Amino acid sequence: MAINIKRPNGTEDVLPKDIHKWHTVEKIARETAESFGFSEIRVPTFENTDLFLRSVGETTDVVQKEMYTVMAKETKFTLRPEGTAGTIRAMLQNGLLNEALPQRVFYILSCFRHERPQAGRLREFHQFGLEMAGSQSPAADAEVISLAKKILDRLEVKNIELYINSIGCPSCRAKYHEALRSFFEARKDELCETCQERLAKNPMRILDCKSPICQEIGKNAPLIIDYLCEECSGHFEKLKKYLTNLGIDYKVNPKIVRGLDYYTKTVFEFVTTEIGAQGTVCGGGRYDGLIEQLGGQHVPALGFGMGIERLLLVMDKQNCAYLSPKKCDIYFATMGDAALEKAMEFAGQLREYGFYAEYDLMGRGLKAQMKYANKIGAAFTMVLGDNELEEKKARLKDMESGEEKEILLNDQFISSFDAAYFDKMMGSLEDQELLGGQNNTEVNK
């Protein structure tokens, strides 16, 4: 029987040729979050299953259909389907909520959901996300939305719209649930089996069902925004005012409910139509009752998750700029053991200063080594053989211009190469300025 060693369905390999794209998103997201006062947190890949049952909600698609759960010595563990629950658990368990508020944390992590794989929807996917705990002000909502938009703006992503809604608090949602039950009861037999169960437990989850029939029935359902209490309505109006003051365009979409039960009041999504049905690249909102639900004191909180794979799909489609992949600064082409030893010595010294240096490890001839240097995009090459070692000097070749410069093979080698490298980078900058373009040492179209 043939052994299946292919990657599991719904997962992807990120190859070295593409990793610079991921580094671009991660770098911009991390820098932007830090500029807003957020610090990085790292949490386990799996948690006790009860954490997700309590936080995400037993009537959600995530819990009912999509979680990866294993039994280990009578204990149930689940691979995280989203980042908020584990992060809030960590903040609570490690006493972060006893420190100065608001607490601000961000994370970059993988999540796991057993969904039907398609473009923009994977079974293992990656998120940049953040959580802010301690503030109940709508100004905090505007701050978090502003941060998400800042990341998208810095990545130069276009044609993405912000949709906002309020799904109220437990008080006004109780009245809304009754209105939904009354609406859906008339067509109960047409609902899918899962939504028939949701009708009694949590009718709002019907609005998030992926069944086309349930979606069609729900098109004319009552809207939560018509049932908001005075406090929730005031919160939403202030949020809209703050977003306007910040110059952030938005549209109110009263049908947004988000797919997880812990949300309250503000919910939002950044959506594009450029990658098909899976167009939500960022979603989040407020979850004022979650910390208390997990055993803590009442501490209001909010956050968002940004899907990295979906974001990269949009960026590739729009030909957005990425950080350039790291390329070889100098390749030493060697002839003979003595030259190889000298190349190893110089390469080691250059690496101490942050340069990327290579030399032959395959026993290639000189012509093959130069071909390899071209293939890896080396900025400079230097041929080392018996003659160069005897004369204690060699020719440093700029592979782009073809210009050569004599370099002494002594204790001044590093400073001599550094000067040549600096001259090349400055020349590149001047060329870019003349062309009115960007610095290709930093970004690559």
Q: pLDDT of 309-365, one tens digit each?
A: 999 999 999 999 999 999 999 999 999 999 999 999 999 999 999 999 999 999 999
CA 278 to CA 201: how far, in whole Å?
28
Q: Indicate if 409 and 286 belong to the same structural domain.
A: no
Has residue 63 been placed in a domain?
A: yes
Has residue 342 been placed in a domain?
A: yes
Has residue 11 been placed in a domain?
A: no
Question: What per-residue confidence (pLDDT) applies to 120?
Answer: 78
Boundary (domain end) residue, out of 289, 317, 345: 317
Q: pLDDT of 213-272, one tens digit each?
A: 998 998 889 999 999 999 999 999 999 999 999 999 999 999 888 756 788 999 999 999
Q: Indicate if 286 and 412 belong to the same structural domain.
A: no
Q: Indicate if 272 and 383 belong to the same structural domain.
A: no
Question: What per-residue confidence (pLDDT) applies to 396?
Answer: 97
Question: What per-residue confidence (pLDDT) applies to 428?
Answer: 64
Find the domain containing 105 and state its range: 19-169+229-317
Task: Please state the domain count of the chain.
Answer: 2
Q: Indicate if 47 and 146 belong to the same structural domain.
A: yes
Question: What per-residue confidence (pLDDT) applies to 4?
Answer: 86
Has residue 54 been placed in a domain?
A: yes
Has residue 177 been placed in a domain?
A: no
Give the per-residue SS3 of the chain.
CCCCCCCCCCCCCCCCCCHHHHHHHHHHHHHHHHHCCCEECCCCCEEEHHHHHHHCCCCCHHHHHHCCEEEECCEEEEECCCCHHHHHHHHHHCCHHHCCCCEEEEEEEEEECCCCCECCECCEEEEEEEEEECCCCHHHHHHHHHHHHHHHHHCCCCCCEEEEEECCCHHHHHHHHHHHHHHHHCCHHHCCHHHHHHHHHCHHHHHHCCCHHHHHHHCCCCCHHHHCCHHHHHHHHHHHHHHHHCCCCCEECCCCCCCCCCCEEEEEEEECCCCCCCCEEEEEEECCCHHHHCCCCCCCEEEEEEEHHHHHHHHHHCCCCEECCCCCCEEEEECCHHHHHHHHHHHHHHHHCCCCEEECCCCCCHHHHHHHHHHCCCCEEEEECHHHHHHCEEEEEECCCCCEEEEECCCCHHHHHHHHHHHHHHHHHHHHHHHCCCCCCCEEC
Boundary (domain end) residue, out of 268, 286, 317: 317
Q: Indicate if 162 and 293 belong to the same structural domain.
A: yes
Range among 53-67, 125-139, 199-213, 259-273 rated most confident: 125-139
Q: Indicate if 46 and 78 belong to the same structural domain.
A: yes
Q: Indicate if 40 and 127 belong to the same structural domain.
A: yes
- Domain harbouring 281, CATH code: 3.30.930.10
Mean pLDDT of 287-313: 95
Has residue 355 been placed in a domain?
A: yes
Q: Indicate if 90 and 153 belong to the same structural domain.
A: yes
- Domain harbouring 348, CATH code: 3.40.50.800
Has residue 350 been placed in a domain?
A: yes
Q: Indicate if 156 and 88 belong to the same structural domain.
A: yes
Has residue 174 been placed in a domain?
A: no
Q: Indicate if 360 and 309 belong to the same structural domain.
A: no
Boundary (domain end) residue, out of 317, 344, 376: 317
Q: Indicate if 86 and 121 belong to the same structural domain.
A: yes
pLDDT exceeds cutoff 50 at 443: no
Q: What is the pTM of this model?
A: 0.88
With contact defined as beta carbons under 8 Å apart, do 382 and 397 qualify? yes
Q: Indicate if 352 and 431 belong to the same structural domain.
A: yes
Mean pLDDT of 267-281: 88
